[in-house]
Amino acid sequence: VQIVTVSGSLGPASANQAALHLALDHLRTTQPTVVVSPADVSAIPSFRPDQVDVPPEPVATLRAAVGAADGLLLAAPEYAGGVSGVTKNVLDWMVGSASLYRKPIAVLSAGTTGGKYAIEQLVRTLSWHGALVVATLSIEAPATKMSAGRYTDSATIAAVAEWTDELIRAVSSTWETTLAQVTAVVVEYGIDPRRFGEG
């Protein structure tokens, strides 16, 4: 099983990146056969529709990594009531390649108020890509749950582990099970799960 992690924050002390580190630690100890590859999105240029078919090299590399992955763990901050531009820019580049189509994805947002608008936007945008959002997690006031750049709050550590396990469950399940996970997420946002088709 190959999992790609994507952080929508490029900050050096990112709470979202720290959540992905936690997920990675959890996978290393509980699922040693799972291969986890962090995606480097720092070199992804601003989206250009005229370059969709012949994208810049960092975009081509990212599309290939995402396309080859069995699932994605995506953590992104909320800025001014929406998902970070870094994240949306990356996702816009993925439209032309269909790299996210039917890809199981777990999304989280760590931010002051828990990033619920970022999560809502991610669920909608990813669903429009045809991706399968199988789990969401909101981490409120992350700074109060961290020490020296790592999460120390036991409830948050447990929640990230459960969030990670949901993705592993999805990538190892039947279509029906995965669709049930997706349905449990998307219906809350007014998205009809029938858009994802049948197995």
Q: Does 142 bind ligand FMN (CB under 6 A)?
A: yes
Max Cα distance, the chain (Å): 47
Task: Decide the pairing of beta strands 104-111 and 146-147.
Answer: unpaired
Select from 2, 11, 128, 162 the one that contacts ligand FMN (CB under 6 A): 11
CB of 42 to ligand FMN, least distance (A): 13
Instruction: Name which of 45 and 81 has its Cβ closer to ligand FMN.
Output: 81
CB of 142 to ligand FMN, least distance (A): 6
Instruction: Name which of 34 and 139 has its Cβ closer to ligand FMN.
Output: 139
Helix (H/G/I), strand (E/B), else coil: 185: helix
Among 110-118, 146-154, 161-169, 186-194, the segment contacting ligand FMN (CB under 6 A):
110-118
- Residue 187, phi then psi, degrees to nearest 5: -60, -35
Q: Does 83 bind ligand FMN (CB under 6 A)?
A: no
Site string for ligand FMN, 18-57 (x = CB under 6 A): ----------------------------------------
Q: How far is CA 18 from CA 8, 25, 107, 110, 172, in A?
A: 12, 11, 14, 9, 25
Question: Interface residues for ligand FMN in 62-81 (CB under 6 A)?
Answer: 77-81
Chain-centre distance for alpha carbon 5: 7
Q: Does 120 bind ligand FMN (CB under 6 A)?
A: no
Tell me which residue has tokens 């081509």. Answer: 60
Q: Would you state the structure tokens that stand for residue 58, as one six-digit string?
A: 């960092």
Q: Does 115 bind ligand FMN (CB under 6 A)?
A: yes
Select from 3, 5, 6, 16 the one that contacts ligand FMN (CB under 6 A): 16
Instruction: Name which of 51 and 112 has its Cβ closer to ligand FMN.
Output: 112
61, 90 contact by CB (below 8 A) = no
In whole angstroms, give the CA distance from residue 164 to residue 120.
19
Residue 59 neighbours by CB under 8 Å, 6+ apart: 44, 45, 51, 93
What residue ranges bind ligand FMN (CB under 6 A)?
9, 11, 14-17, 77-81, 110-113, 115, 142
